[in-house]
Chain A
Amino acid sequence: LAKTTQPISMDSYEGQEVNITCSHNNIATNDYITWYQQFPSQGPRFIIQGYKTKVTNEVASLFIPADRKSSTLSLPRVSLSDTAVYYCLVGSSNTGKLIFGQGTTLQVKP
C-alpha cells in the first residue's frame, strides 16, 4: 500500500489560499485519497475525497494529477479557525488498508 508523505508544518495568513501536497508514489489502481482535519482534543473530521482529477466541495478542493502519485488539498481564503492538523489518507477499496500521513500542522496567523 502507498506510503504517504506530507510536510510537517506550514504557516499562512488569514485570507490566503493554502495548498498542502501529499506524496503517495506507490498508489494502487483501487486506492482513494482522502483528507481529514483535526483540532486538538478532537477526532479527525472529513474534508474531501477523490480518485482522480479535481474534486471541489464547499470547504476545499482536491487536485490529483493523472499519475495520481501526489494530491494537493487547497483551502481558499483561510481563517484563524483553520489552524489545525491536516492528514492525507490513502485507502484501498480492495483490501481495506488505510495509511494516514504524518499530518501537516497548519498555523494561520492574523
Chain B
Amino acid sequence: ETGVTQTPRHLVMGMTNKKSLKCEQHLGHNAMYWYKQSAKKPLELMFVYSLEERVENNSVPSRFSPECPNSSHLFLHLHTLQPEDSALYLCASSQGTGLAVSYEQYFGPGTRLTVT
C-alpha cells in the first residue's frame, strides 16, 4: 500500500454519462496529481494541485474537470467523454509545494476507465 487510494478501481461509462473519480492520500502531502496512462503511451500529466490550488493544467479537454477540496482529496469529474479517453487514470501525491517536482511521488493503483 502506498498511502494513496483511488475509487472506483474500474469504471465503464457511456459517452453521455457524468461520473467522478476519487483519490485520497493518507500521507500528509501537499501536492496531488492526475495522470492518464493509455496503452503503449507514456504517462501524461493532466493536473497538479499544490495546497489545494491548481498549479498545472496540461491542455486537458474541458470534459475533464478536477476538484481539490482539501489537501487529502482529489476528484476528477468526467462528462461527455469519448472512446479515446479510455485509459488508466492515476492519482499521485508528493511533499513539497508549487512545482517541486524533485519530490518523489506516491501513486495510487489507478482507475481503469472504459468509455463505450
A residues whose Cβ falls under 8 Å from a Cβ of B:
32, 34, 41-46, 49, 87, 91-103
Q: Enumerate chain A residues within 8 angstroms of B42, measured Cβ to Cβ.
A: 87, 99-103
Pick the interface stretch among B13-21, B63-71, B79-87, B103-111.
B103-111
CB of A59 to closest CB in B, whole Å: 13
In the complex, A42→B56 CA distance in Å? Answer: 24
In the complex, A99→B105 CA distance in Å? Answer: 14
In the complex, A49→B48 CA distance in Å? Answer: 20
A49, B102: Cβ atoms closer than 8 Å: yes
B residues whose Cβ falls under 8 Å from a Cβ of A:
2, 4, 40-45, 48, 55-56, 90-92, 98-102, 104-110
Q: Enumerate chain B residues within 8 angstroms of A100, measured Cβ to Cβ.
A: 42-44
A43, B109: Cβ atoms closer than 8 Å: yes
Check A46/B45 contact, CB under 8 A, given A92-B99, A96-B55, A96-B56: no
Check A32/B101 contact, CB under 8 A, given A43-B4, A43-B92, A87-B43: yes
CB of B94 to closest CB in A, whole Å: 9
Check A96/B99 contact, CB under 8 A, given A42-B109, A44-B43: yes
Picked from A44, A91, A101, the residue with its CB within 8 Å of the CB of B101 is A91
Q: Enumerate chain B residues within 8 angstroms of A91, measured Cβ to Cβ.
A: 101-102
A43, B107: Cβ atoms closer than 8 Å: yes
